[in-house]
Structure 1
Amino acid sequence: MTVTAGPSRRTGTSPGEPTPSPQTLRRYRRAADFIAAAMIYLRDNVLLREPLRPKHLKPRLLGHWGTCPGITFIYSGLNGLVHRTGHRTLLVTGPGHGAPAVHANLWLEGTHAEHDPALRRDVSGLTELVRRFSWPGGFPSHLSPEVPGVIHEGGELGYALATAFGAALDDPDLLVACIVGDGEAETGPTAAAWHCSKFLDPSHSGAVLPVLHLNGYKISSPTVYDSMEDDELTAYFRGTGWAPHLLDVSTTDDPDGSLAETLDHIHDEITTLQAQCRAGERPGRPVWPMLVVRSPKGWGAPDHDAHGTPIGGTFHSHQVPLEDVAENPDQLAVLARWLRSYRPDELFDDTGRPAADLLSVPPEPDLRLGSVPQANGGRLRRELPLPPLEPYAVSVPAPGAAIAGATPTLARWLAELIRRTEDSRDFRVVCPDELESNRLGEILVATDRAYVWPVPGYSEHLTADGRVIEVLSEHLCQGFLQGYLLTGRHGLFPSYEAFVSIVDSMVNQYAKFLKMAMEVPWRAPVASLNYLLTSEGWRQEHNGYSHQGPGFINNLLTKKASVSRIYLPPDANTLLQVMRECLASTNRINIVVAGKHDAAQWLDLESAEAHCRAGAGVWEWACNDAGTARDPAEPDVVLACAGNIPTVEVLAAAWLLRRYAPDLRVRVVNVVDLLVLAPQERHPHGMTDEEFVACFGRDVPVVFGFHGYPSAVHELLHGRAGPNRFHVHGYLEEGTTTTPFDLLADNRMTRHDLATDAISRAPGWSSRGGTIADRLRADRDAVLTRSYREGADPPEITGWRWSE
C-alpha cells in the first residue's frame, strides 16, 4: 500500500486565501456561542430583534451549556488548522451533550443547510435550528446520527477516544481530533484508551489528537483531572505515552492566537513523526502530541443569576444555567442581558445571514469538519472480497462421520480474507487477548498483532502494521471497531462469551445509533458489527462458574429487529456459511456463537448452505417419525436444539430414544438463526406460520435444548400459537469447576434429561414410558458417579458418535 508522507503546510484553503484573523475568530465564537445558548432557551425571536418575552422561550428548557463554549473554541481552532494545512480532519466529540455548540458550528459552516435546506443560513433557517433542539421530532439534547459529522453520540461517557483511534486506523491521511471532557476522563474506558497510541502505526494509519477539555466540574462536583496541577498532568500523560501541550485560556490575552500557535506545533510533531516512519526511520517509542485546554465552566455565562447563585465558572452552568426564566421577570432580564452580550446585531445582517468574515472561518466545503467523508463512512465502504468457502469446508460424508473444530476451520478462511485485503487494508480483527485461546491462531499466519512500542522479553506475531489488535479491554475493542466500521471499513470481534457482556452498555448505545442512522436518508449503510463468541459456557467447566454466562444473547434481543441477528451454527460448515453472510451484511449487529473444540460435524457444505438460508429445519436423518417434509403427519414429540453443545445432546437423546423407545415418533429440528422463532411481524427473519408448523408441528410437545438462558427462547416464541408446548432446557445459572457432563447435568441439559423429558411429555407415553425414564435417569447418574470418581467423563460420553 502506498502511503504519503502527510499533508504539507500551506497558507490557506486555496492559493492566496488568508486564514481568519484572531479578531474574526473571536467574532465567530461569539456567534456560535450565541446560537448555542439560543438553542437551549428560545423558540422564537432568535436574533433578539425585539425585547425578550416569555412567549419566545421554550416550554421545556433542556441542554448542557457548560461545555459548549469550550467545544466552539476547539472547533474554531481546528477550522484554522485545516485552513493552514489542508489536513482532512474528523472531529469526535466526547461531551456529546455539548450538542448545541456542534449544531451552531454546522449551521455557520453551511453543512446543516446542505443536508436540509430548511436549515439555511438566514433568520428562517436559524429559527428552525434553534426551535428543533430538544423539541418533539427535532434534535436530541446530545449528538446523534441525524447530525452531520458525527460518528460518536457521547451520551454515555467513556468511549470517544477508543472510537477516534478506530477511525484513524488504516487511513494514513486522516487526522482525528477527539475532545475528551474532564468528567469523561474519569471513566475506566477512557483511562485505558490513553494507551491506544501504542497500537497506532504511523506508517499506515492516520493520527489521533486528543484534546482534554478541563473546565472544572461535572454535574455538581469537581473533576479529578482539573484538580491536578499542570506538572501532575504532564507527568501523568507522559507516563501513558503522550507529549502534552497545555493551554489555559485565562493566562493569555489572545486565546485564539495561542490555540492556533499550539495546534501548529502539534501538527508539525504529528507530520514529522509520520514522515519519519514512512521513510523507514521508525522511532523505538513513538510519542504523539496531545492538547490539554483549561477554560472556565460555562465560559461567557452570567456571574450570578437573579437569586445571587454563582453561575459562570461553577457547576451551576453545567446544564441550564438560568432556570424559572418564564416565571421570574428578574431571571428573564438576566437571560436577556446574557444573550445580548454576544451582540448578535453585529454578527448577522438584516436577513439573518452571518457576516462575511464569519463565513470565512470554516474551510472549503470538502474540508469542513461537518462534511468529512469518513463521518458518513458508508459512502466509503467497499464490498469485502470474501473467499469461496469450498476450499475451507470440512468433508462430511455422513452426519457425524467427520471430526473438526469450528473456529479453527473458520480461521483458515479468515486468514485468506486478510490476505485478500492486504492492499485495501479495510478489514481488521479486534480481540481481548484471546485469539489463540479461541483457536483462531491461523489468522496470525496471514498477519500479525499490531503493537508499535518495544516489547521486553519474548513475543510472537507482533509488528507495527499487524491487522489484529489484541488488548485486554473489551471496551477498547468495541471502541476500535465502532470507529473503524463507521468510517467505512469491516471487522470482527472474537471474544470469550462470558466476558463480552462487559460491553453490554456500549452495544446498547451502538444499536441505538444504527437504528437512528437507518432513518436518516443521507447516511449510507455501514458494515455490520460482528461478534464471534466462543469459549462458550458449556465448555468452560474447567474455568468454572465465573466463565459461564450466555447473557449477551438476551441483551441483543431487546434491540430493534432491524438491527439484531443471532446465529448458533452447530458445526464448522454452518459457521462458514453464517460468517460469510455476516461479513457481507450492513447496518446490523450480528452475534455468532460457535465452538472451538474438535467435535462431530453434521452437515456438508451444500446442506449447511440450505440450512442457514432457511434458518431452521428438520434433520430428517435424525428423525424417527412418520412426519417429514413430504409427509406432514405429526410426530409424538419434537426434539429441538440451538447451539453446538445442545445439538450434540439433542441428537444423543434422539439416539437413546431409538434404542429405548423405538415406537416413539421423534422429530429433530435444528435452529441456526435464532430469530426465525419470532413471528414475522416482530422480526424480518421470522418464519411464516406454515414454516413454523412444518418444523415444530401444530400441537406437538417440543423439548428444546438451548445454548443460553431459556427465557430467550420463550421471549421469541411470544405470539406464536401454543407457546406453552415448548419446554426449554438451557443454562440455569448453575455451574462450577467440574466436567462437561456434570455441568450439563447441573442445568438439566444432558441427553438423558432431554430424552426423559421427551418421553414424559409425549401423548400416551407418560405411564408406559415410566420404566424407560427411570432407566435414563439411572444411566445419567451412573455416568456422573464415574465422572466424580475418575475426574473425567467416561468414553461413552466423550466418544459418542451418531449411528443409525
Structure 2
Amino acid sequence: MTLASQITQAQSTGEPSSKTNERESFAPDTLSPEELALIHAYWRAANYLSVGQIYLLDNPLMREPLLAEHVKPRLLGHWGTTPGLNLLYVHMNRLIKARDLNTIYITGPGHGGPALVANAYLDGTYSEVYSGITADTDGIRALFRQFSFPGGIPSHVAPETPGSIHEGGELGYALVHAFGAVYDNPDLLALCVVGDGEAETGPLAASWHSNKFLNPVTDGAVLPVLHLNGYKIASPALLARIPESELADLMRGYGYDPLFVTGEDPAHVHQLIAAALDTAADKIAQIQHDARENGVTDRPAWPMIVLRTPKGWTGPKVVDGLPVEGTFRSHQVPLAATRTNAEHRDQLEEWLRSYRPAELFDDEGRLLPELQALTPTGDRRMSANPHANGGALLRDLRLPDFRDYAVEVTAPATQMHEATKVLGAWLRDVIVHNPDNFRLMGPDETASNRLQTVFEETTRAWDAITFDGDDHLSPDGRVMEVLSEHLCQGWLEGYLLTGRHGLFNCYEAFIHIIDSMFNQHAKWLKTTRHIPWRRPIASLNYLLSSHVWRQDHNGFSHQDPGFIDHVMNKKAEIVRVYLPPDGNTLLSVADHCLRSRNYVNVIVAGKQPALSYLTMDAAVAHCTRGLGIWEWAGNTDGEPDVVLACAGDVPTLEVLAAADILRRNLPELKVRVINVVDLMRLQSEAEHPHGLSDRDFDALFTADKPVIFAYHGYPWLIHRLTYSRNNHKQIHVRGYKEEGTTTTPFDIVMLNDLDRFHLVMDVIDRVGSLGSSAAVLRQRMADARLSARAYTREFGEDDPAITNWVWPSE
C-alpha cells in the first residue's frame, strides 16, 4: 500500500476535520511544465549530491562503473529526511526569486546535513567560502570526500555549513531559534523545518507558542513546516499517526492556519508544495500589511505547512528483502555494506544513476546554466544570507556609562543595597538606547530578580489576550517572559546568532534546565572561532540570581549552584564566570559582558539587600584585575599567617565577618583577605586566557600558608581550578555541600559550614602556630553556632546581631 493510500485509510478512522482540507484548494497547475521540469531536475541534482556525500570517495559524476574503491570505508550520515529538505530548498529558491524575499532556512532535522551542504554548493556559496571546493568535477569529488570524513566536516548542519544558525544535533530547538531570529527583523522570513521526531520533544511543543510573542509590525515571520515522513530511527512518528483532523485542530489550537501537502509522486508534490508556499507567502504578506499599514491589532493566525512525504524518498525501495523507502530503515544509510557487498554496490550504482547526473552537470562538472538560473543571487541565497552569519550585521550596543548608576559607599561593608536592583536601572537605559537591538529574557522572573526598574521604560512582549490589571504587557515589549527556560534560551540564541544582543536572567537552580542547550551553543562558538568567514557574535550572557544562599524560603529543591561547574567543562576560550560581591562590581561586570563577543558569560549575583564594599572606582579596578587583596579587611601589608579568600556575595560577607572576629580576638594573627570576581583567574595561565601565572598566584595566596576559601558553589571546583598550584595542599575550601532545607539565611550557611564562626574555627585548625592558645576562641565559635541555631528555632529568624553585622568603624 502506498504512503498516500495508507494516510487516506488512516484518516477515514478519525473524526472529520472542521474545515475543508486545504490541499483540495491548491491550484494543480501552479508550475508550468517548463518550471516543473527544471525544478524537478534541480531537486534531482540536490539529491544526487546528497547521496554522493554519504557514499562516494571518487567517481563523483558516475562516469565509469562504480568500484569498491570509489566508496567510503565508513558510511556515516542520514538519508531519510534529506530528500524532503531538498524539496523545500528548491521551492523556497523559487519563492525567493519570485518575491525578492529575505529568507533563512532553519533545519530541525539537522542530521539531514547532506541536503544543506548540497544546496549551498549548488547555489555557489560553498565554493565562495571554501575555495578548494570548486564548481567542477574536482570540486564535487572534494565535496563528497570531506563529508563525515577525518579532517572534513560533520554530518549535521554544523557551523561549517553556510546559511546555518542551527545544527540540529539535539532535537527540539529549531522553532524557538527561528522565532528568536525574526524578532526585531521585520523583513526577515525564517523557513523552519520541524522534524517529526523533534516534534515529540517538550521544548518544541512549547515553541509553537512563540507566535504569541511575535509583533507583526516590528518583527519578521516564521513559516514552520512540520515534515512528517512517518518514522524516527525505529519507531513511528507520533504526529504522523494521528488523524489529520486531530493534527489540524492541534495546530489551530496553537494559533496557526495549517496547510497540508501529502504525496509520493514527485510531479504532484512539486505542484502542491509550490501552491502551499505561495498561499503561505500571501497570507504572511497580508498579515504584515494589515498590521503595518491598516493598524490591525488582533493576533493573526500565521500559516504553517504540514508536509508528508516518504522517508528516504527516491532511495532504494527494498534492501536484502526488506522494505526501505518509506520506512525507518532509510533513516541513516540504507545500503550499509557497499564497499564489501557487490549486491549493495550494484544497488548504490543504480540509485545514483537514477538521478541522471549527466543531464544535470556539464562535461566539466558544472551545474547546467538553466538550473543555476533557478537559484537566487547574492545575499538573497539562503546559504549566503547575512542573518545566518549574524556577526556580519552586529552593531555595538549604545551603553550608558555604568559609573553613573553607582551606589555610594562611604565606608566598606556598612551600607545595604540590592545588587540586581542597581543593575536594573542600568538595564532600563540599555533598553532605551537600543530599542531594536537588545532584549531581556527570563522565565517570569524579571521582577522577582529585582530588575523591575526596566518596566519604567518598556513592557513584557505579549500578543495574546490582556485584561485590566495586567502588568506591563504589549506587543512591542523588550522583556520576554515565558515560564520555559528552553524558550528563553532558544529565543536568545536565535537573536544573538542573527546579530543582536541580550541577557538571560534566571533563578540559579533552574538554569540547569537548559544545560544541554548551553552545551550546543558553546560548541557552536568554539567551532566558529576557527571558521574565518564566520563573524563574531555578541556573547550569551546569563545573570543568575535568587541563588543558592538566598533560597532559604523555597528550600532544598531551589538550592543548587552547579551550573558553574557545568560551564567550566567547556573550552577556556569560550566561557567566563563572574561572582561580583556587590552592586558596583555587578555594574562593572555587566558592562564588560555586554561589550564582549563570542563568549558565554555567567554572572552570579544576589538580589536581596546586602552590604556594599567598594566605591565605583575601586570596583572598576577590582573587576579589571579579576581578584585582589582587600587591604582594609586584612591586618597586614606583609607576609600573612593565613589567607581568607572568598568568591560570591554571601561567602564574601562571611569571610569579612570572620576577619572581624579574628582581628578583635587574635590581633597578632596576620590575616590577608582576597576577593575573587573572575573565577577563571584561579586557573593557570596555561589553562585559561584569564589565568594567573604561578608567580602571581603565589604572590597573592602565598606558596606555603594556609588558605581558607569561602566559595559560592560546590567546593571541589576551586580544588579543580587550583590543583596544579604550589600551595594546593594548603587550600581548604568551604562551599555548598548539598545541605539545605527551608530555614533562615544564616542557618543555610551554617548547614554547609560556610558561616563566619566555622571559618574562624578553620583558621585556628589550619594555622599551626596557634595551637592550644586559640582553644578558648574555638570553643566560643562552636558555642556561637549552637546559639545561632537555637535562636532560629525559637524565633523563626536569624539573630539580629548576625543579620545586622557591619564592618566596624576604626
2:611 to 600, 612, 616: 600
Structure 1 pair 551–685 and aligned structure 2 pair: CA distance change class (3 A) = same
How big is each residue's C-alpha offset from its partner over 1:51-80, in whole Å with a ceiling of 9 and x where there is no partner?
001100101000000000000001111111
2:407 to 375, 379, 394: 394
How big is each residue's C-alpha offset from its partner over 1:195-252, in whole Å with a ceiling of 9 and x where there is no partner?
0000010000000111110001110110101112211111000001100111012378
1:743 equivalent to 2:739? Answer no
1:342 equivalent to 2:347? Answer no
How big is each residue's C-alpha offset from its partner over 1:674-697, in whole Å with a ceiling of 9 and x where there is no partner?
010000000000112232122211
- Structure 2 partner of 1:676: 681
How big is each residue's C-alpha offset from its partner over 1:124-163, in whole Å with a ceiling of 9 and x where there is no partner?
1110000000011111011111111011110000011101
Amino acid of the structure 2 residue aligned with 1:224: L
1:788 equivalent to 2:801? Answer no
How big is each residue's C-alpha offset from its partner over 1:23-66, in whole Å with a ceiling of 9 and x where there is no partner?
10000011110110011011000111110011001010000000
1:363 equivalent to 2:368? Answer no
The 3-state SS of whatever aligns with 2:720 is: helix
What stretches of structure 1 move > 6 A for 4+ residues in a row?
Answer: none
Alpha-carbon deviation of 1:634?
A: 2.1
2:71 to 57, 67, 75: 57
- Structure 1 partner of 2:342: 329
Amino acid of the structure 2 residue aligned with 1:399: P
The 3-state SS of whatever aligns with 1:165 is: helix
- Structure 2 partner of 1:288: 302
Amino acid of the structure 2 residue aligned with 1:551: G
1:48 to 50, 54, 62: 62
Find the aligned partners of 2:547 and 2:225 in 1 and give their Cα distance.
40
Matches within 5 A, 1:12-27: 21-27=35-41
Mean Cα displacement is larger for which, 388-397 or 27-36? 388-397
Find the aligned partners of 1:154 and 1:718 in 2 and give their Cα distance.
37
Contact 1:110 1:120 in 2 (8 A): no
2:629 to 594, 614, 618: 618
2:501 to 482, 487, 490: 490
- Structure 2 partner of 1:534: 545
Alpha-carbon deviation of 1:165?
A: 0.4
Alpha-carbon deviation of 1:254?
A: 2.5
Find the aligned partners of 1:117 and 1:648 in 2 and give their Cα distance.
58
Find the aligned partners of 1:280 and 1:442 in 2 and give their Cα distance.
33
Contact 1:381 1:526 in 2 (8 A): yes
- Structure 2 partner of 1:660: 665
2:292 to 275, 278, 292: 278
Amino acid of the structure 2 residue aligned with 1:318: H
1:231 equivalent to 2:245? Answer yes
1:512 to 510, 523, 534: 523
- Structure 2 partner of 1:261: 275
1:247 to 261, 264, 276: 261
- Structure 2 partner of 1:585: 596
TM-score, length-scaled by structure 1 = 0.96
The 3-state SS of whatever aligns with 2:259 is: strand
- Structure 1 partner of 2:21: none
Alpha-carbon deviation of 1:259?
A: 1.2
The 3-state SS of whatever aligns with 1:36 is: helix
Find the aligned partners of 1:82 and 1:280 in 2 and give their Cα distance.
25
Find the aligned partners of 1:648 and 1:734 in 2 and give their Cα distance.
19
How big is each residue's C-alpha offset from its partner over 1:711-760, in whole Å with a ceiling of 9 and x where there is no partner?
11111112221212111100000100001111111100110011110121
2:227 to 189, 213, 218: 213
The 3-state SS of whatever aligns with 1:145 is: coil
The 3-state SS of whatever aligns with 2:111 is: helix
Which ranges in structure 1 are unaligned for 5 or more consecutive residues?
Answer: 1-17
- Structure 2 partner of 1:114: 128
Alpha-carbon deviation of 1:457?
A: 5.6
Alpha-carbon deviation of 1:19?
A: 12
Amino acid of the structure 1 residue aligned with 2:611: A
1:438 equivalent to 2:449? Answer yes
Find the aligned partners of 2:158 and 2:265 in 1 and give their Cα distance.
35
- Structure 2 partner of 1:127: 141
The share of aligned pairs that are identical, in percent, is 50
Q: RMSD of the alignment, in Å?
A: 1.2
Contact 1:20 1:360 in 2 (8 A): no
How big is each residue's C-alpha offset from its partner over 1:314-353, in whole Å with a ceiling of 9 and x where there is no partner?
1000000011111111111111111111111111111111
Find the aligned partners of 1:716 and 1:280 in 2 and give their Cα distance.
60
Structure 1 pair 19–138 and aligned structure 2 pair: CA distance change class (3 A) = farther
The 3-state SS of whatever aligns with 2:773 is: coil
How big is each residue's C-alpha offset from its partner over 1:601-658, in whole Å with a ceiling of 9 and x where there is no partner?
0000000000000000000000023xx3xxxx42111100000000000000000111
- Structure 1 partner of 2:804: 799
Find the aligned partners of 1:389 and 1:430 in 2 and give their Cα distance.
21
Amino acid of the structure 2 residue aligned with 1:274: Q
Amino acid of the structure 2 residue aligned with 1:662: P
- The alignment of Structure 1 onto Structure 2 pairs a total of residues equal to 778
Alpha-carbon deviation of 1:402?
A: 2.1
Alpha-carbon deviation of 1:456?
A: 4.4
2:700 to 695, 701, 705: 695
Find the aligned partners of 2:302 and 2:692 in 1 and give their Cα distance.
53
Amino acid of the structure 1 residue aligned with 2:131: P
Contact 1:595 1:644 in 2 (8 A): yes
1:764 to 769, 775, 786: 769
- Structure 2 partner of 1:202: 216
The 3-state SS of whatever aligns with 1:38 is: helix
TM-score, length-scaled by structure 2 = 0.95
Contact 2:702 2:727 in 1 (8 A): no
2:563 to 534, 539, 552: 552
The 3-state SS of whatever aligns with 2:318 is: coil
Amino acid of the structure 2 residue aligned with 1:382: R
The 3-state SS of whatever aligns with 1:128 is: helix
Which ranges in structure 2 are unaligned for 5 or more consecutive residues?
Answer: 1-31
Alpha-carbon deviation of 1:303?
A: 1.0
1:319 equivalent to 2:337? Answer no
Find the aligned partners of 1:19 and 1:431 in 2 and give their Cα distance.
52
Contact 2:705 2:727 in 1 (8 A): no
- Structure 2 partner of 1:87: 101
Find the aligned partners of 1:95 and 1:274 in 2 and give their Cα distance.
29
Find the aligned partners of 1:20 and 1:721 in 2 and give their Cα distance.
76
The 3-state SS of whatever aligns with 1:250 is: coil
1:500 to 505, 511, 518: 511
Amino acid of the structure 2 residue aligned with 1:652: A
Find the aligned partners of 1:333 and 1:599 in 2 and give their Cα distance.
74
Mean Cα displacement is larger for which, 241-250 or 160-169? 241-250
Contact 2:698 2:726 in 1 (8 A): no
The 3-state SS of whatever aligns with 1:608 is: helix
Amino acid of the structure 1 residue aligned with 2:336: E
- Structure 1 partner of 2:476: 465
The 3-state SS of whatever aligns with 2:554 is: coil
Find the aligned partners of 2:769 and 2:191 in 1 and give their Cα distance.
70
1:420 equivalent to 2:425? Answer no
Structure 1 pair 251–311 and aligned structure 2 pair: CA distance change class (3 A) = closer
- Structure 2 partner of 1:72: 86
The 3-state SS of whatever aligns with 2:632 is: helix
Amino acid of the structure 1 residue aligned with 2:738: E
Alpha-carbon deviation of 1:767?
A: 2.3
Amino acid of the structure 2 residue aligned with 1:370: S
Amino acid of the structure 1 residue aligned with 2:369: A
Structure 1 pair 304–543 and aligned structure 2 pair: CA distance change class (3 A) = same
Amino acid of the structure 2 residue aligned with 1:592: I
Find the aligned partners of 1:170 and 1:414 in 2 and give their Cα distance.
18
Contact 1:109 1:368 in 2 (8 A): yes
Contact 2:36 2:267 in 1 (8 A): no
Mean Cα displacement is larger for which, 326-335 or 291-300? 326-335
Contact 1:542 1:739 in 2 (8 A): yes
Mean Cα displacement is larger for which, 180-189 or 356-365? 356-365
Amino acid of the structure 1 residue aligned with 2:570: K
Contact 1:284 1:454 in 2 (8 A): no
- Structure 1 partner of 2:24: none
Find the aligned partners of 1:280 and 1:726 in 2 and give their Cα distance.
68
Alpha-carbon deviation of 1:399?
A: 0.4
